[in-house]
Amino acid sequence: MSVFVSAAELNERIQAGQKQTVIAALWEPKAGKAWSKFQSEHIPTALYCDPSVQLAGMPGRRVGRNPMPSIDTVAKAAAGWGIEAGRPVVVYDGGNGLFAARAWWVLRWAGVQDVHILDGGFAAWDGQGLPTIAGPGSVVVPREAQLTAGSLPAATMDDVRAFEGVLIDARGARRFAGRRETLDLRAGHIPGAKNLPVNDLFDDDTNTVKDADAIRESFAQIGVTQNTDPASVIAYSGSGNHSALLLAALEHAGLPLLTHYVGGWSQWSANRDNPVASDM
């Protein structure tokens, strides 16, 4: 399987009884609503994931809106989902890909190798009239997950301060330019960063990933190619979700997986000692 799996392919694997773990990474602003939605309708065999609890640490001014979870938090979640070596994992969300990508990156960072994203999420599944079920999700036998923190490269705020390579900001153009900011304390971007909105890598109507050639062309325009040293580029977004989706698209296109600054703009902008750039 590629990084992104189509709804048709996932359905075929489920119907054939393929060995795999399907995880629904769902989030809603109102507490409890995502869990209620999952119980009312989800993909067969899926297990529920709460991104705010299982894929992030405690938010705060010093660490950002969605800081990295501890490896113990990820290991506990992975054990509850029955994740084990040799068993593929497919993650989905409502359709925008952000929380599925968060799960994809966190699990890969923790050493789970075979992780995939449902292309277009539940919206694509439901739009094709594929079967759904209700209830609390499948019952699994918990596993003793042997995970290793740092299996994917991650950068701290201090790393970014000292960095002399290429910074990629995956947020939308208006937030990058400093013309619009409703989530974080200051508007703008990290000085020297280049903007590649992650939405440019996905179809506007279906939220499905573009073909590999189109993605490689978008990255080439900011100087990232197959010959790029992954350590020479750091990607970030507001708090690690948009940038995780950008990195998933990057790997889907066969490009080197770059370093990820998960704290992102939410952490950087909250520190008054950090410089800010804008196009205003």
pLDDT (tens digit per residue) in 208-222: 999 999 999 999 999
Residue 139: predicted pLDDT:
82
Cα atoms in the 13 Å half-sphere on the side-chain side of 225: 4
pLDDT (tens digit per residue) in 234-255: 999 999 999 999 999 999 999 9
SS3 47: strand
| Contact between residue 249 and residue 226 where contact means Cβ atoms under 8 Å apart | no
Cα–Cα distance measured from residue 201 to residue 245, given in angstroms and rounded to the nearest whole number: 9
From the CB of residue 244, how many other CB atoms can be counted at a distance below 10 Å? 31
- Spatial CB neighbours of 35, under 8 Å, sequence gap ≥ 6: 26, 48, 50
- Spatial CB neighbours of 242, under 8 Å, sequence gap ≥ 6: 98, 170, 171, 198
Residue tagged 């950068």 (tokens): 155
Residue 12: predicted pLDDT:
98
From the CB of residue 163, how many other CB atoms can be counted at a distance below 10 Å? 18
Phi, psi of 142 (to 5 degrees): -55, 145
Strand partners, 260: 154, 235
Q: What residues in the chain have per-residue pLDDT under 70?
A: 280
Q: Please count the residues of the chain.
A: 280
| Contact between residue 155 and residue 234 where contact means Cβ atoms under 8 Å apart | yes
Phi, psi of 123 (to 5 degrees): -60, -40
| Contact between residue 14 and residue 44 where contact means Cβ atoms under 8 Å apart | yes
Fold of 4-128: Oxidized Rhodanese; domain 1 (3.40.250)
Give yes or no on whether 4-128 and 154-270 have one common fold: yes
Residue 142: predicted pLDDT:
74
Residue 280: predicted pLDDT:
67
Cα–Cα distance measured from residue 57 to residue 106, given in angstroms and rounded to the nearest whole number: 12
Fold of 154-270: Oxidized Rhodanese; domain 1 (3.40.250)
Residue spans of the domains in the chain: they are 4-128, 154-270
